[in-house]
Structure 1
Amino acid sequence: MCRRPRRSQDDRMEADVVVVGAGHNGLICAAYLARAGLEVAVLEARPIPGGNTVTEELTLPGFAHDSCSSAHVLIQSNPLLQDDELGLLSTWGLRYEHTDPAVVLPRADGDTLVMHRDLDATADELARYSPADATAFRDLIGEWTTGLAAVHGRWSSGFDLGDTPPAKAYAALRARSAWDVVHERFSHPAVRDLMVWLSLATIQDPRREGTGVLPSSIAAGRLRFGWSTPIGGSGALPAALLRLLEAHGATLHTTAEVDHVAVRDGRVTGVRTFDGRTFTARRAVVMSSNVARLPDMLDEVPTDLAAAKQAWRPGLSVFAVHAALRTDLAFTNGLHSVAAGLGDTAGIARQLDAFYRGETDTTNPWLLVVNQSVVDRTRAPEGAGTFKILTIAPWTRADARPWSKAKADFGADLIDLVRTRVPTLDPISIRMESPHDIAAHNPHNVGGSCHGGEFHLPTGERLVGWPHYTTSIPGLFLTGSTSHPGGSVSGRPGRNTARTILSKLGLNPATVMGPR
């Protein structure tokens, strides 16, 4: 039976495992460990838990906005939810709406391309533009569902892919760029626009090698799960995890930012917070904070963690506009959708090129538009709506104009752009957040990156997550969006690290999770 972490005689908090960071991956890792019978203490730097899966009143009272993450699509195929391993769905109150449409793309010519939560309906929609591309889309999804998806599951779990034909095909596809895959397989501009837009969903440059699976994986996920919307907001996921943790005797400590990781006789022994509190870990410390910040918390930095810090880059930093709406958005013929995408292939390329120059481009950039009150009426007062625009924007502007002065103009340009496609847009209160605001919102979002950034290895390879959950310091483990398989709400780093820790401690992971 689990016990609550206790205070020792010298007034230090003790637990079997101390988890640093209460983002969804840290909480998932903690939940598996607590279910396995370990005493767990979770430390969170902010006053509220959840990391980038939080829901807050950012504009007006009664309007619940998802500060960072909005869709929980990737986590749906994680055995955590697919097999309900922790009972989050059956016992702890977590609920999702899997929407149809999955996403709509309002086009400059007044048409709206609709991606449904159904292969046949989506292929029929694409056939309006190109019957050949509709067939190519069916082939793309067929290849994914009949072999590549299973290999992708192994990759996401950190397992060896093996040498089967599907594994070899998957590795070859992953090595390519999403851009090349889309342009090779599809010819009509509207279909390419959809597939390139989808490929940016995890905030990676689709022109970069290593992104070749994204057109297949993201499209298949939307077909299967729609725009998976947590009822009550993104914060519903950490709330369910915290109910589980409390029931299993774990403790949560907020406003507990860690500044030092203690190591004695070559083994991790605990952590210290900025306000001087000490938390002793009898068996393990799990760091779910940005791995690039970890070396600064150690007296002596081992070569593996120094290499991780040196290799880490923020990747694509983001800009967000949150708004309270007078009424929900309506698209062509009165169509309502939780999610909409703007941006064509050429415009996205211009935007990315501008980003690397330290500039912004609003001619036809990649924009995600989210209006979740369409399916979740808990988000806003009766008749009103919640709204978000997400796009990429450089951390440092080439014109040297500070974001504190530039964000209002840039955000207004984004709203005007959306209004050209969606005339029903009627905000009553607006909040702009530059990359610097995103970073200030959560200490994990170094450089304005809310998806964990990427690692540039000396070999030239780029990884979206550090490939190791263990470190060279015994008892010190890594999780979070800077761990494999990287950012977005997948829960994979949390589950993978929990499996690793249980194995290292001589406990059987099969008591709390399946083999996948």
Structure 2
Amino acid sequence: MVMGHNGAGGSAPEVADVVVIGAGHNGLACAAYLARAGLDVAVLEAADQLGGNTRTEELTLPGFAHDSCSSAHVLIQSNPMIRDDELGLLTKYGLKYLHTDPAVVLPQPDGTSLVMHRDLDGTAAEIARFSWQDAREFTAMVTEWGAGLAAVHGRWSSGLALGAGAAASRYRDLRRQSAWDVVHRRFAHPAVRSFVLWLSMATIQDPRRPGTGVLPSSLTAGRLSFGWATPLGGSQALPDALTALIRDHGGTVVTSAGVDRIEVARGRARAVRTTDGRRVEARRAIVSSAHLANLADMLEGAGTPGDLADARDRWRPGLSVFAVHAALRRDLEYPSAGGPLRSPAAGLGTTDGMVAQIDAHHRGEADARDPWLLVVGQSAVDPSRAPDGQATFKILTIAPHALADGRNWADAKEEYADALVELVRRRVDGLAPDDILALRAESPVDVARHNRHNVGGSCHGGEFVTPDGGVIPGWPTYTTSVPGLFLTGATTHPGGSVSGRPGRNAARAVLSALGVDPSTVMGPT
């Protein structure tokens, strides 16, 4: 099991070719590509453990390996970094993913379950138990995605031009729509609508918002291809593998080195300074995964750049999250047509309940009546996560960072956690009070405290309001108006989740600016 690694050791160098601020998986991915390209890289991380939101920690009892934030690494499977093993993380550095079947289970109020398998036919057969018409429509949606739309989406995720042609035109049209409209246009049965909308909320965005119309197809296709893609040993396995690569190529990764100042001199980003007074000079570039709500105010020696001030002022938290971690006596079991079923993930929530919860969130209310709810039990596929046949357990949902009734989350979080656990208990076996060995509730305030990048309790990077009043999940560029200063991390395109795209995309931008051909370390898309 991979817990509590800092992956670093040593001290910060006085100078490096490139200084990367932040050792989340995107900062490390960017640094890994740059190190592979022959640059001397130093990564400085504020926390005492690397990984950002891809950490694995003992949050409840000794020996129970909990992923404090991210759990599934599905989006990154289609990133060439993993898909083509561009960095050798799989073949050389021991990173291993378990692609599970079932992908996810959605227990129903009547005591049955809708089981999503890792294949289209098996999942369509499950949907057909509710509606043959919806099963055909589900198959059509996934088939359309594979017939050109997925390739265009890959270009979008890589920050590249979408190109011309019929597939690009269809993709643009789909992206202008909302997930809510797509789901309600294509599907009729309430259980099927709830299933696909639940999948569409995996990136923690309001599914009624224009721009989310690709999510029903893209996120469904990812689950069908990779299941609940689980890193063996925990989320920490990804940053640990990236750190090992960086160090093998002469780079440095240092924890407990929070950067609070970026020095700008003679019109260029020149160095960073840490909160404890250390200074690291950057010969060629600085790559920041610092939150874009804060970066503009970190610059010293120049006026506030307009583009970074614009990013700061346009950012908002979006949907903040609430988590419940627990150590259990055994893995949960879900009802299914074939008998009790173990699964690494399960979902609860109806279409109406999910949007009611989002509306309540905007009013400052924590709604536990019929919420979007993710249940994670990764010891079901990776027994190393817990000792002696016991189990890890997590609930993830949304809740406002500040409660409208004035209550402090320190006083309210146990009550909300109990309500969420009770919801799950009604649908599963193995969550009786005696089955819970230890429980830890984390409100949005706790989530923000756990990682300085989780501003406002948002662990997905939040969102930006565009000049025309739209909303996008990530700032669209990796360059800035400050020569030598580049951007990466969850607040850059395409936003949060474990995709590795902001890291790989930023590496391409840095290499191109430095006159290094990106094709020496990565493919064209």
Equivalent position of 1:113 in the other structure: 114
Equivalent position of 1:324 in the other structure: 327
Q: Closer, same or farther in 2 for the Cα pair 1:464/1:235, shift >3 Å?
A: same
Equivalent position of 1:289 in the other structure: 290
8 Å contact 2:13–2:42 — kept in the other structure?
no
Shift of 1:423: 3.1
Task: Choose the corresponding residue for 2:304, options 301, 326, 344.
Answer: 301
Question: What SS is found at the alignment partner of 1:281?
Answer: strand
Mapping 1:369-408, distance limit 5 Å: 369-408=375-414
Question: What SS is found at the alignment partner of 2:18?
Answer: strand
8 Å contact 1:229–1:372 — kept in the other structure?
yes
Task: Choose the corresponding residue for 1:497, options 503, 506, 511.
Answer: 506
CA distance in 2, matches of 1:172, 1:289: 33
Shift of 1:12: 6.7
Shift of 1:110: 0.6
Question: What SS is found at the alignment partner of 1:201?
Answer: helix
Question: Are residue 27 (structure 1) and residue 28 (structure 2) matched?
Answer: yes
Equivalent position of 2:342 in the other structure: 336
The one-letter amino acid paired with 1:482 is T
Question: Are residue 235 (structure 1) and residue 236 (structure 2) matched?
Answer: yes
Q: Deviations over 1:250-275 (max 9, x none)?
A: 11111111111000011000100111
Equivalent position of 1:315 in the other structure: 318
8 Å contact 1:12–1:277 — kept in the other structure?
no
8 Å contact 1:102–1:226 — kept in the other structure?
yes
CA distance in 2, matches of 1:486, 1:349: 22
Please give the TM-score of this superposition, normalised by the length of structure 2. 0.96
Mapping 1:355-504, distance limit 5 Å: 355-425=361-431, 426-504=435-513
8 Å contact 1:371–1:386 — kept in the other structure?
yes
The one-letter amino acid paired with 2:101 is D
Question: What SS is found at the alignment partner of 2:369?
Answer: coil
Q: Deviations over 1:372-417 (max 9, x none)?
A: 0011111000210000000000011011000010001000110011
Q: Closer, same or farther in 2 for the Cα pair 1:121/1:12, shift >3 Å?
A: closer
Mapping 1:78-157, distance limit 5 Å: 78-157=79-158
Equivalent position of 2:4 in the other structure: none
CA distance in 1, matches of 2:504, 2:390: 37
Following TM superposition, where does structure 1 have runs of at least 4 consecutive aligned residues deviating by more than 4 angstroms?
none
CA distance in 1, matches of 2:196, 2:25: 28
Please give the TM-score of this superposition, normalised by the length of structure 1. 0.97
Question: What SS is found at the alignment partner of 1:451?
Answer: coil
What is the aligned-residue identity percentage? 65
CA distance in 2, matches of 1:120, 1:97: 21
CA distance in 2, matches of 1:69, 1:383: 23
Mapping 1:196-211, distance limit 5 Å: 196-211=197-212
CA distance in 1, matches of 2:23, 2:389: 34
Question: What SS is found at the alignment partner of 1:200?
Answer: helix
The one-letter amino acid paired with 1:211 is T
Equivalent position of 1:187 in the other structure: 188
CA distance in 1, matches of 2:214, 2:116: 19
User: Alpha carbon RMSD of aligned pairs, Å?
Assistant: 1.2
How many corresponding residue pairs?
A: 509
CA distance in 1, matches of 2:242, 2:260: 25
Give the unaligned 5+ runs of structure 1.
Answer: none
CA distance in 2, matches of 1:161, 1:275: 45
Q: Deviations over 1:443-463 (max 9, x none)?
A: 000000000100001211211
Equivalent position of 2:3 in the other structure: none
The one-letter amino acid paired with 1:424 is G
Question: What SS is found at the alignment partner of 2:439?
Answer: strand
Question: Are residue 254 (structure 1) and residue 243 (structure 2) matched?
Answer: no
Question: What SS is found at the alignment partner of 1:334?
Answer: coil
Equivalent position of 1:352 in the other structure: 358
Give the unaligned 5+ runs of structure 2.
Answer: 1-7
Q: Closer, same or farther in 2 for the Cα pair 1:169/1:384, shift >3 Å?
A: same
CA distance in 1, matches of 2:13, 2:320: 39
Shift of 1:296: 1.3
Equivalent position of 2:5 in the other structure: none
Q: Deviations over 1:33-88 (max 9, x none)?
A: 00000000000000010000000000000000000000000000000000000000
Shift of 1:249: 0.7
The one-letter amino acid paired with 1:392 is I
